[in-house]
Structure 1
Amino acid sequence: MRAASGSLFGLAYGDSLGKPTEFQEYASIVARYGPGGPRQLVGEPALVTDDTQMALAVGEALLEVGADVTPAALEPVLRRRFLAWAASPENDRAPGMTCLRAIGLLADGRPWTRATQADSKGCGANMRVTPVGLVPGLTDDQRAGVAQFQAALTHGHPTGLAASELTAYACLWLRNGLAPADLLAALRDRCSAQRKVYRGDWLGELWQRPTVTSPEDFIARGWDECAAALDRVEAALAKGDHAGDPCLATGAGWIAEEALATALYCYLISPHDPVTVVGRGAASSGDSDSIACLAGAFAGASLGLSAWPDEWQTQIEYADRLFRLGGAWD
């Protein structure tokens, strides 16, 4: 089945299809591609955005540290790989300003808690977290800690942390055989169970803000906002009519919980048709590449690499790096 490869390639495929539609109005997208959005990769190679580039940075950091998945081991590796991405000449795909600001501060060696953008919950927190859900052998505490930590290096808002954990666990559960129809309930249960769990061994004193009274109250805000976003997905699916701009139903995706919600919505409309999933994610008026890349990661985790068109594997940018990670984790 090669589910890890399916998810990683699905992320890149969605990212590439959403690259030209980001910042476009829905009517303009439909006029060019139809309501199903783009359904063919374009270019040799088909270029991706910073979403895939940063997901590769996270995945390759995890591959580098191997079994030593601790904050002390992972932080310098993630820092180094984020800095390398920021300095790369290939970092020319309209990268997010939050990531660039935070990484610029990381570059001078300061503690990451002083570099992170404390009030940002932009989708850059969870667009890159898919590998955390796919790497095998982690305990639940490690996986949740890494998912939040990789977000926290740049995006310090509790909702960015919670949305990243949910995104990683959606990929994990789908890879392990969870039925798509059961995914929303599982994510809601995770919100409830983790609502007051602050992972201090990974996050340190990140919670300390002028108006926050405890670490539990800090993280609960993130889980509550994510739970509300999942409610919107459930309501949108229940309407039955899924035509039109998905961003009108579940949010534009510029912030973490909306990127998760709209990606889930696009995925759960047609979970057994991955090309339709990523096309629909790309046919959105908001952060189209991030929405489509997360939707593609979900579809690929569930259906595996063979569900995607074979010819896309040799067309997509960074195929060699995607194969390396997928091969290590399949």
Structure 2
Amino acid sequence: MDDRLTPFWEAAAIYRARVRGCLLGGAIGDALGYPVEFASLDRIRATHGAQGVSGLTADGEGIVGRVTDDTQMTLFTAEGLLQAHERERLKGIGGGWSRLVRDAYGRWLDTQRLPGPPAGVRDGLAAQPWLYARRAPGNACLSGLAQDFVPDPGAALGRPGPVNSDSKGCGAVMRSAPFGLTRASAGTAFEMAARCAQTTHGHPTGYYSAGAFAAIVAYLVEGDSLEGAVLRAQRLLARHPGHEETTAALDRALGLAAEGAPTAERVETLGAGWIAEEALAIAVYCALAEPDVRRALLLSVNHSGDSDSTGAICGNLLGARHGDHRLPQEWLQAVEGRAAIAVVADDLAAECVRH
């Protein structure tokens, strides 16, 4: 091999590992948090011991490793973006990504309404029977996608969107990591994620938190530290009116991470994670305050709140920062749909390298 090509292939391998790490890490965090999503911290400790959840546990049906709408919607986001890149590369048709991502979310909505893949569907995520599971999907996502709103890529941000204009739940954040994985600039990832968030969450904090999360992921994939990525994402936020709640939540996470050893009680001072900026802040805090990947993932789910969403977002961050080789392999092997998730990650990485 020509030595002049080695840096390219090394960079491509690192990029692929981070894309895989992001999607698979999110699935691990999701699966860790799902069985305790609606449990208080006291209840978690009473059930699992003083340290709380220490690994993958069974859900209410006795199944270990199941994922929720967090992982489901993240995968459909990736599929929509993959289709947009393929269309531009193969047909020379640029743009249209907002429509393609919205169509992908429509396919996710079908998985929440149908018992299994429709007759004749043999390709893509819609052909995966394991995705046809309804595990406490967010009401804003369900009601918003029923309206078939496609955001205008040229519209100004900063005002309430037309769909669920007062909603700032975490459902737009938890699905937005793939916008940061496409090798677009962090600014572009921010804009795309924020606009696609408006299909379901119209409150500026709801969609700015999604944009900030995508930008942080993009910076991590470039090789930035987590703290550096958050600070740079805050500079993007500052350009937009109405960013203050998201910026303040990230400030609290950064400040708390510098105050000492991480604890579940400190996590809970950031909120419960049901709303967008709180979920992002908790995930950032856990990934930043706890340098060990395994312990950071556990920290992100051991609290009295939306444990699967905060776990998924934290896993996305950790995987994008460190790559899939740093994920706990015994947990990864038990996660539902891990092979299909890896395929989506590899397809997205390969397409974006070619693009």
Q: Please say if residues 171 and 276 of structure 2, whose CA atoms lie closer than 8 Å, have aligned partners that are also in contact.
A: yes
| 1:126 equivalent in alignment to 2:141 | no
CA contact (8 A) 1:35 1:244 kept: no
Q: 1:71 to 1:251 in 2, by over 3 A?
A: farther
Of the candidates 16, 20, 27, which is equivalent to residue 5 of structure 1? 20
Offset, 1:229: 0.7
Structure 2 partner of 1:206 = none
Counterpart residue number, 2:42: 27
1:38, CA displacement in angstroms? 2.6
**What are the Cα deviations for residues 201-233 of structure 1, in whole angstroms up to 9, with x where unaligned?**
xxxxxxxxxxxxxxxxxxx11x11111112211
Among 50, 66, 80, which residue is 1:61 paired with?
A: 80
Please state if 1:180 is matched with 2:226. Answer: yes
- Deviations 1:161-199, CA, capped at 9 Å, x for gaps: 21111111211222222123434432332322x23xxxx
Cα distance change, pair 112–165 in 1 and its aligned pair in 2 (3 A): closer
Deviation by residue 1:17-58 (Cα, 9 ceiling, x = unmatched): 000111100111122334544332346762101000000010
Judging changes above 3 Å, is the alpha-carbon distance between structure 1 residues 73 and 183 closer, same or farther for their aligned structure 2 residues?
closer
Question: Which of 82, 86, 103 is matched with 2:105 structurally?
Answer: 82
Q: Deviations over 1:57-111 (max 9, x none)?
A: 10010011116499962233223222221221324101000111111222xxx66
String of CA shifts for 1:232-282, please: whole Å, max 9, x gaps.
1133223314323344221111111111111111111113x1111111111
Partner of 2:7: none
Structure 1 residue 250 corresponds to structure 2 residue 292: no
How do 1:17-166 residues align onto structure 2 when only pairs under 5 Å count? 17-34=32-49, 36-42=51-57, 46-66=65-85, 68=88, 73-88=96-111, 89=115, 90-106=132-148, 116-136=163-183, 138-166=184-212
CA deviations 1:276-295 (Å, max 9, x no partner) are: 11111110111111111111
Number of equivalent positions? 299
- The CA distance in 1 between the partners of 2:202 and 2:94, in whole Å, is 16
Measure, in 2, the Cα distance between the counterparts of 1:144 and 1:269: 24
User: Any gaps of 5 or more consecutive residues in structure 1?
Assistant: 196-219
Distance 1:36 1:263 in 2: 18
Equivalent pair of 2:216/2:226 in contact (CA under 8 Å): no
Partner of 2:260: 240
- Three-state SS of the structure 2 residue aligned to 1:278 is helix
Verify the 8 A CA contact 2:151 2:195 in the aligned structure 1: no
Correspondence for 2:287:
267
Paired with 2:50 and 2:233, the residues of 1 have a C-alpha distance of 29
Preserved contact between residue 233 and residue 249 of structure 1 (Cα < 8 Å): no
- Once the two structures are TM-superposed, the CA of residue 124 in structure 1 deviates from its matched residue by 0.5
1:324 shift after superposition = 1.7
1:190-205 equivalences under 5 Å are: 190-192=236-238, 194-195=239-240
Give the aligned CA root-mean-square deviation in angstroms: 2.4
Partner of 1:302: 321
AA of the residue aligned to 1:233: A
- The TM-score normalised by the length of structure 1 is 0.83
Contact 2:187 2:215 in 1 (8 A): no
Contact 1:130 1:168 in 2 (8 A): yes
Question: Is the contact between residue 11 and residue 297 of structure 1 (CA under 8 Å) also seen in structure 2?
Answer: yes
Any conservation in 2 of the 1:36–1:279 contact (CA below 8 Å)? no
Structure 2 unaligned spans of 5+ = 1-13, 116-131, 153-160, 351-355
Q: TM-score, normalised by structure 2?
A: 0.77
Any idea what SS the aligned residue of 2:35 has?
coil
Relative contact order: is structure 1 or structure 2 higher (C-alpha 8 Å, sep ≥ 6)? 1
Report the AA paired with residue 33 of structure 2.
G
Contact 2:249 2:278 in 1 (8 A): yes
Change in Cα spacing, 1:94 to 1:248, as seen in structure 2 (3 Å) is same
Q: Distance in 2 between matches of 1:233 and 1:55?
A: 23
Contact 2:186 2:216 in 1 (8 A): no
Q: How far apart in 2 are the matches of 1:72 and 1:303?
A: 31
Match of 1:284 in 2: 303
* Structure 2 residue matching 1:268: 3-state secondary structure: helix
**Given that residues 84 and 95 in structure 2 are in contact (C-alpha distance below 8 angstroms), is that contact kept between their aligned partners in structure 1?**
no
Match of 1:170 in 2: 216
